[in-house]
């Protein structure tokens, strides 16, 4: 598992376990609040599950040019118990702070 996948797994796990306050603390409260994250998940109305390996292998990770330290934009198709791959999309920004470690920002969480 690469560093970007590890960051995604951490964020998704906190969404699955509904630890919104921990997630907001981890992302320094930028962009979305715990209540906004909770609302997005509950409004979708299905049960989030951990990502299968195929989802991790197919992550849409794009390095943003000209950024130092390196910054990556990541789109994550979330999975649910009811549907498998869902229409709920998590948009992340990963800022490389140390080799193999990223600062994480949640840009958006929405349904297509």
In tens, the pLDDT along 35-48 reads 999 999 999 999 99
Q: Where are the domains of the chain?
A: 3-111
- Residues 31, 106 contacting (CB under 8 angstroms): yes
DSSP element (H, E) containing 63:
strand 60-63
Per residue in 55-101, pLDDT (tens digit) is 999 998 999 999 888 899 999 999 999 999 999 999 999 999 877 78
pLDDT of residue 61: 92
* CB 37 within 8 Å of CB 22: no
């Amino acid at each position: 598992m690469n560093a970007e996948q590890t960051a995604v797994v951490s964020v998704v796990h906190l969404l699955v376990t509904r630890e919104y306050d921990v997630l907001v603390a981890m992302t320094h409260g930028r962009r979305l609040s715990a209540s906004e994250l909770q609302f997005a998940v509950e409004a979708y109305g299905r049960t989030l599950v951990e990502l299968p390996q195929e989802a991790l292998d197919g992550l849409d990770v794009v390095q943003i040019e000209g950024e130092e330290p390196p910054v990556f934009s990541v789109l994550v198709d979330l999975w649910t118990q009811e549907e498998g791959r869902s229409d709920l999309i998590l948009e992340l920004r990963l800022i490389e702070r140390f080799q193999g470690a990223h600062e994480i920002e949640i840009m958006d969480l929405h349904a297509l």
